[in-house]
Amino acid sequence: MPLRLERIEWMPSPPLVPDSEPLDIQHLSRMTLGDAGLEREVLALFSAQAASLMAALASLPDDAAALAHTLKGSARAIGAFGVAEAVDSLEAALRCGDDTSHALPAVGFAVAAAREAISARLRRS
């Protein structure tokens, strides 16, 4: 049987971490299967959870690494990749026993940006 070759048009992949937006809406849509009601629900849940986790992380409790890991996973699930990246740095500092005085505020800024984007999106829907 002869080998048949086809020309395939190459298309670059989207960036793994969007540079400018706090939420990757395409990722969120894929994760919620395009269901607007489910999207609103997960965004509201994430916003509340993120606020709660940030309040808990403020005092750097013994379980701070686990709390940070929870926040990172939730952020990735909804497409808040800036939050996930900031939390990744915090987790690394916690694991190594490094100073978290820069990492924790960076997480706070990323969470605030994501929550503002979520609020704006929920107001529009």
Task: Give the model confidence (pLDDT) of 48-89 as tens digits.
Answer: 999 999 999 999 999 999 999 999 999 999 999 999 999 999
Nearest to 42 by CA among 54, 51, 29: 29
- Residue spans per domain, the chain: 31-124
In this structure, which amino acid lies at residue 116? E
- pTM exceeding the 0.85 threshold for the entire prediction: no
CATH class of the region 31-124: mainly alpha
